Amino acid sequence: MEGNGLKRNLILFGPPGSGKGTQAALLNKHQGLEHIAPGDMLREHRAAGSELGNMASSYMAAGKLVPDEVIVGMIRQRLEHGPVGSGFVLDGFPRTVAQARALQELLAKIDRPLDLVVVLEVPTDQLVLRLSRRSGLEHREDDHPEVVTRRLAVYREQTEPVLAYLSDQVPVVKIDGIAPVAEVYANLLRVLL
């Protein structure tokens, strides 16, 4: 870990393929923010063949959202048992207004309120291109073209309203996510520091 050990609690928000995971990993590596990615956690459980992984598998393969209680429980466990005194970056969560409400309640209980929501903006045609490339490189079932189309539709229907809900409670900053990774990261640091 490098950097100054930022102690910010934030959400990286954006559609599938917008670069949330890449930027969250950079914030973890260089700024010490705990990277919490429910999608990665679910894939790990699935690969391990755990009960949670098996339960989530059918939802993920179809590009559907895993039930709130499963995701919120994982987030709660991770935040309660994570590094003391560090900030965190949520990547790919919350995806519904119900999850956002549950998250706000949880963070109030454990006294780790959100500081900021950062939206990575990327045009739809670029998202499809990125996800198609990722499907070939990482062999992820949820990045096949027909599943990508469904994931983007789910994002528009269920996840975009989360931003409206959170913007009433937490500052929201939008960043161009189409720029090169290093430039997006530099812009992200500018809003965090």
* Measured CA distances, 22 to 29, 35, 125, 177 (Å): 11, 10, 19, 11
Question: Catalytic residues, which ones?
Answer: 20, 95, 134, 140, 151
How many residues can be counted in the chain?
A: 193
Q: Do 66 and 73 contact (CB within 8 A), yes or no?
A: no
Q: Do 121 and 23 contact (CB within 8 A), yes or no?
A: no
Phi and psi at 8, nearest 5°, equal -115, 150
Residue appearing with tokens 């260089």? 30
SS percent in the chain: helix, strand, coil, step 5: 60, 10, 30
Phi and psi at 45, nearest 5°, equal -60, -40
